[in-house]
Structure 1
Amino acid sequence: MSTIEQITEHILIMHASHDTDRPILAAITGERKTLLIDAGNSPAHAALFRQELQRLGVRLPDLLILTHWHWDHTFGMSEWDLPTIAQAKTAHSLSKLMGLNWSDEVMEQLCTEKIINASTMAHIKKEYGMNRDLIRIVDPDILFDESITIDLGGVTCQVNLVGGDHSEDSCYVYVKEDQTLFLGDALGPSVYGGPRSYTASRFLRVLKQAYQSEAILFVESHGRPLDRAAFQRELRDWEQLALLTEQYGQNREQIVSAMCTFLQVSELPHEFSEALEWFMVGAAYQ
């Protein structure tokens, strides 16, 4: 399948690439302006999307919105040079990274301080090679706290802070006319700040906010667009695991038993065993 896809009347995306952790980038085109969702993980990632937009004759972005501060969503900002909208915590987190040279020693120190992790360091090295001098952190221009509405001309984008385990600044972007919800990575576990973890209450709250939207299409940054029925099917088992963690706390055996019964299996599949460990860490934190 092509890396470029028109998923609705007003929305064109470039699909995620897992090789160097490139997330989905999206162009939302209204009558007056085009909004870019996330900047990409490098100038090369950003330039590739721009070239595809030009090839297809799509109006180039006039504005950029960031779903959260993580490198794979923000390090392409310098290539776009656009007025950028971000949640206030996103700007604060990015400010801590400004002026770094991104050498191996600096990244190892960032890992020690749990600002990034070893996986991020490996992906940055692979994405940039010896050209890490291209990493330039850019301050967002327009900050908001809880929500902001962006009128593109006949197309309205509602941006809401939802937080969650993955990053406290995570935002949803809802394209009203296309009934499409961009979730960023908000439903993911924490990846920085310590061991990978899920907090059941946070996961369930963020998932509930997604379900409460009027969206018929859901887009997670490192997945594929799903209609509502497919999204609910995909999240059903994870929701159950979170509910069981809320119910049984750190009683691993009880959760495993109940989850196996729910899945109608004799042994918990690896993906749920792994996620259960993340929920156990989250339960211990609570």
Structure 2
Amino acid sequence: MKHEFQQLSPHILIMHAEHETDRPILAAITGERRTLLMDAGNSPAHAELFRQEMAKRGMRQPELIVLTHWHWDHSFGMSAWKVPVIAHEGTAEVLGSLAGRSWSDDDLEELVLTGTLSEESAQHIRLEYGDNRNITVVKPDIVFTESINVDLGGVTCELSHVGGDHSADSCILHVKEDNVLFLGDALGPSVYGGPRQYSSTGFLNLLGLAYGYNAQWVVESHGVPMSTAEFRADLAPWERLARIVDVFGHNRERVVKELKDYLKLQELPADLLQGVEYFLAGSK
């Protein structure tokens, strides 16, 4: 698997997402005194690639990790770093409940049946780890409830709990001096514990919060970094869809018609059609 690296801003190096085994973006944020890592990677192998790139560039290795949420692809690389981890109390609770599991095929099947994981995630874990899965789930060291600030020396990182459909513990990370906003997966639909769905009101609240930062870069964990203007343009159809569902959520035909009219399209693209179903599921 080949990853791309990007010096996103003066203090931030990112490793781009790779979708074959669901590897999200990782970010190293370096101040005068210490380096902080945003998300740990989905495996020690994922983590090692970033460690090697940092070493190649002569960068200080991370002394701290912050997690955006508990999901396996963001947290299962923690054991490779052996540094203190900061996470929301909800993240700590779920990771604590997963510690010590065998991660055998039977164990994965049980986690899917109970809604802890999706079948898609189980398949990605099989691909990432192979047949002999030596997975060590680590509990965070420092737990917060609402928000926490970390001073790296001339660079301040604010990790804030925002929740949302994707995961109740979702957090966003704002690097103040570089004005970079990491959204994690906070704007994603629910993926575990039932059919995928969006709450239109919750989605709009999170979108408004993200827009309010007017960040130089907005980074979603499985996407590509965008300026705020690009991000707003990219999310405009979804924002309109959420607003339409807020009004006509009981009427699929009307929702589709209103969105087609807004976009001036005869037919909606596949991703928006899927989005319609997610939002309608969330409005019931």
The amino acid that maps onto 1:26 is: A
The amino acid that maps onto 1:113 is: T
Residue aligned with 1:236, SS: helix
Residue aligned with 1:178, SS: coil
Q: Quote the RMSD (CA, aligned, Å).
A: 1.0
Q: Which residue of 1 aligns with 2:160?
A: 160
State the shift of 1:214 in Å. 3.6
Q: Which runs of 5+ in 1 are unaligned?
A: none
The amino acid that maps onto 1:88 is: E
Q: 1:2 to 1:99 in 2, by over 3 A?
A: closer
Q: Which residue of 2 aligns with 1:45?
A: 46
Residue aligned with 1:89, SS: helix
- The aligned runs of 1:3-18 (5 Å cut-off) are 3-18=4-19
Q: Which residue of 1 aligns with 2:111?
A: 110
Which whole-Å CA distance do the structure 2 matches of 1:177 and 1:258 have between them? 41
- The aligned runs of 1:88-107 (5 Å cut-off) are 88-107=89-108
Give deviations 1:156-204, integer Å, cap 9, x for gaps. 0011101110001100100000010000000000000100111101111
Residue aligned with 1:7, SS: strand
The amino acid that maps onto 2:96 is: S
- The aligned runs of 1:130-145 (5 Å cut-off) are 130-133=131-134, 135-145=135-145
State the shift of 1:247 in Å. 0.9
Identity of aligned residues (%): 54
- The aligned runs of 1:241-260 (5 Å cut-off) are 241-260=241-260
- The aligned runs of 1:1-286 (5 Å cut-off) are 3-133=4-134, 135-284=135-284
Which whole-Å CA distance do the structure 1 matches of 2:46 and 2:272 have between them? 32
Give deviations 1:67-86, integer Å, cap 9, x for gaps. 00000000000000110000
- What TM-score do the two structures reach when normalised by structure 2? 0.98
Which whole-Å CA distance do the structure 2 matches of 1:224 and 1:267 have between them? 26
Give deviations 1:236-257, integer Å, cap 9, x for gaps. 1100000000011221011000
The amino acid that maps onto 2:112 is: C
The amino acid that maps onto 2:138 is: V
The amino acid that maps onto 1:252 is: R
State the shift of 1:270 in Å. 1.3
- 8 Å contact kept, 2:3–2:17: no
Which whole-Å CA distance do the structure 2 matches of 1:210 and 1:27 have between them? 21
State the shift of 1:2 in Å. 6.5
Which whole-Å CA distance do the structure 2 matches of 1:136 and 1:281 have between them? 35
- What TM-score do the two structures reach when normalised by structure 1? 0.97
Residue aligned with 2:111, SS: helix
Which whole-Å CA distance do the structure 1 matches of 2:206 and 2:83 have between them? 29
State the shift of 1:130 in Å. 2.0
Which whole-Å CA distance do the structure 1 matches of 2:269 and 2:49 have between them? 38
Which whole-Å CA distance do the structure 2 matches of 1:268 and 1:228 have between them? 25
